[in-house]
Amino acid sequence: MSRSSLANARRASAWLAASATIALVTAPSAAAQDAPASETSSGVEDIVVTARKQAESLQDVPMSISAVSGEALESAGYTELNDIARLSGNVFFEAADRSKPQIYIRGVGTRSYDAGSDPSVGVFVDGVYLGRFGALDMDLLDVERVEVLRGPQGSLYGRNTIGGAISVVTRDPATSFSGRANGELGMSDIDGDWLYSLGASASGPIAGDGVRGSISATRRYRKGYQNDSVADVRGGSEDAWSTSGKLLFELGDATLRLAADYSHLDGPPLILVPNQLGGAANNPGALAPGFVTPAEPANPYRPATDAADQAIIKETYGGSAQLNVPFGDVELTSITAYRRLNLDERDDLDGTTLPFQVYLADESGKQFSQELRLSYDSDSFKLLAGAFYSNENVDRTETITFGPASLLTVLAGPTPLVWDFGVGLKSKSYALFGQAVWNPTDRLSLTVGARYSWDEKDVLFDTRTTVPVGISNYRQAAARKWNSFDPSVSLSYDLADDVMAYASYTSGYKSGAFQFIATSAAVAQQVAEPEEVDSYELGLRSTLFDRRLRLNIAAFSMDYTNLQQLRLVDVGGGVTRVLIGNAGDSRIRGFEAEGRAVFDDSWSLDFSYGYLDAKFKTYVFNTLLDFSGNRMQRAPKHTLSLGLNFATDTGIGELTSRIGYSYRSKIFFEADNNIVDRESSEDGLGLWDASINLKNGPWTFGLWGRNLTDERYRRQVLNSTGNAQRGIWAEPRTFGLRVAVDFGGK
């Protein structure tokens, strides 16, 4: 029996035992649940979510979940999906650029961005899974709300996610005609950096009440906050536009939603700033005679590189059809989707004015998915059963060009010398999933779920080089298949009308990963094993003090096997190799508390706190490097978010404001925790944001500010062990003015 089969058998036994144990304690009770407390104008509002594929109150969901409305994100000045990390505990969402997002929930994520790996945190838009890394960090366009689910998700979603899920729900077309036009103008503390955006949307009936439609478009531009005068490029620059549309058909009792979107993004380019580690590593690699590394930039926001035309151009588009057909108490849901991603990238890899290395990437990906669900709903029993299929084809080539400053040009010649790492992926995923919810009493609820996944990946490596050292020309095919059974069980009990406690067990799985820069056919055959996790959680969801306080808390423990890790390894001669491998065992424990306090009709406070103890239990990288006991990357021990809100009616309109503070403690970018790669960490970071809006009739005028104390910090670092480090720096203090006008009804 294979290792995965043994793991599946072990999980099946644990699941059956847990289900049997819980069944013994679910004897019917005579206690009846009273009617829920009514809403008050000054109390906390009820939040409706669809995380469990049904509309229900956030407080009734027995899992750790956060939700924020699109309107709240917009009024706070947040326009990108990565901004959600400023509002959610134990969530890390940073990006080296808009094609390499790094999303971690409870310390689980991936720094990979290649064709052969899968995201650990899934991003879904209206139920459609976005498989490519380059498509995950998106603009928030016509969004109803964003839901963040922590921990493995498999029994409810078509595509399994081992670390968590971010579900973006867009607005449905309105029942009466409405529209909005908006504009924005801003600037940062960096000379010459300014931005603007324009947007418009319209929604309403098209053919009576049976056909409704909506369309939105936005244009965004930013000059850029890193002024590279030598290469005539600015980091942080952006020139983008996006559009989306939706049609909703009422077909008797059935409903059909057709959605399509397109976006084109030029920038921001990936500007790398060298860190010479106090002079200990002053070269980007082995230099040719006669070349000397320039001094490290005194100001990382004024770098100097030599490669012209540095840019990232990304095009994403797709469409989906969602059909809901009720048959009495049973409803059929079908979601069919097609996605495309085209990406071109050019970076100065050494980050200096030396003609040393230029990096290019070219990616083309397409994805088809089909999800079918059947759901049954009665007073005491709910059942959901589903099937999922996806087919993904990706072609990606990483190219490194060596210039005359590289020692390789002297040793090998001629110039230019080129490495081409081509990877072609064909991936198929199948799954059966479902869950049942039984309410033996008005207060007690038992949920049992399961998922069986099959994954197939076929990869063709096509590596070509004009450099006769380090790597060789080869073509190598590789294929793997994996499967996993992943159960879940939870028990919840209403301790009072507005207080619910729950306990849950969930297992998760992520398919194996291939190398994306393989220097030889032997390296290409080194496939990272699938990840596996067993997650345990205890939680309490409560609305207290006459609905003046919503307080949700959760404690969790996760045991991870084969966490996939990417690391750059120095192989000598100034050459670095990228390897994807597995950490043996990891342990993650933590705590979360979040909610909202309403003080009076004007003042309220949103809060979120996360504590995380995430460590590698066993991670022997090689005979010389043992990372066991180290803290996991991008897993801050503390995260905190506070938002003080104020609202009042004035003589000239309704005034609303928010002051927000988000904090994360120290993070490590590498598993060695600074032992091998020095300064691969970022100290604790606190960011202040603020916004104020005045609404007068159809007009809204706003002012927002991000990073008000002008913290200068690195979003990411790139290590080439033994050589100078390169960093990617974040947005400085930025302000903006906004104006919007609404027309028609709501």
* CA 99 centroid distance within chain: 12
pLDDT tens track for 256-315? 999 999 999 997 888 999 998 888 888 888 889 999 999 999 999 999 999 888 999 999
Is there a domain that residue 32 lies in?
no
Q: What is the largest CA-CA distance in the chain?
A: 87
Is there a domain that residue 41 lies in?
no
d(CA 746, CA 740): 15
d(CA 553, CA 545): 17
d(CA 466, CA 137): 35
Instruction: Give 571's pLDDT tier (boundaries 50, 70, 90).
Output: low
d(CA 297, CA 94): 23
Mean pLDDT of the region 593-606:
94
d(CA 287, CA 411): 11
- Residue 204 pLDDT greater than 80, yes or no: yes
Is there a domain that residue 735 lies in?
yes
- Residue 414 is predicted with a pLDDT of 66
What pTM, to 2 d.p., does this model score?
Answer: 0.88
Q: 473 burial class (0-12, 13-18, 19+ CB within 10 angstroms)?
A: exposed
CA distances, 307 to each of 86, 312, 350 (Å): 34, 14, 10
* 12 and 452 Cβ atoms separated by less than 8 Å: no
d(CA 312, CA 342): 11
CB atoms within 10 A of CB 195: 21
d(CA 435, CA 51): 13
The structural domain count of the chain equals 1
Phi, psi angles (nearest 5°) of residue 279: 90, -5
Is there a domain that residue 34 lies in?
no
ω before 36 within 30° of 0 (cis)? no
Mean pLDDT of the region 393-412:
88
Paired with 384 in beta bridges are 375, 435
* 531 and 510 Cβ atoms separated by less than 8 Å: yes
Is there a domain that residue 33 lies in?
no
Task: Tell me the CATH number at 350.
Answer: 2.40.170.20
* CA within 13 Å, CB half, 187: 5
Is there a domain that residue 587 lies in?
yes
DSSP E strands in 409-530: the ranges are 417-438, 444-465, 474-496, 499-510
Tokens of 720: 């080439």
User: Any idea which of 89-103, 444-458, 497-511, 521-535 has the lowest mean pLDDT?
Assistant: 89-103
pLDDT tens track for 678-731? 899 999 999 999 999 999 999 999 999 999 999 999 998 888 767 888 999 999
Q: Which domain holds residue 314?
A: 3-27+51-744
* 26 and 380 Cβ atoms separated by less than 8 Å: no
| pLDDT above 90: percentage of residues in the chain | 56
User: Residue 159 carries which DSSP code?
Assistant: S
Is there a domain that residue 81 lies in?
yes
Q: What is the dihedral of CA 133, 577, 348, 400, to 10 degrees?
A: -90
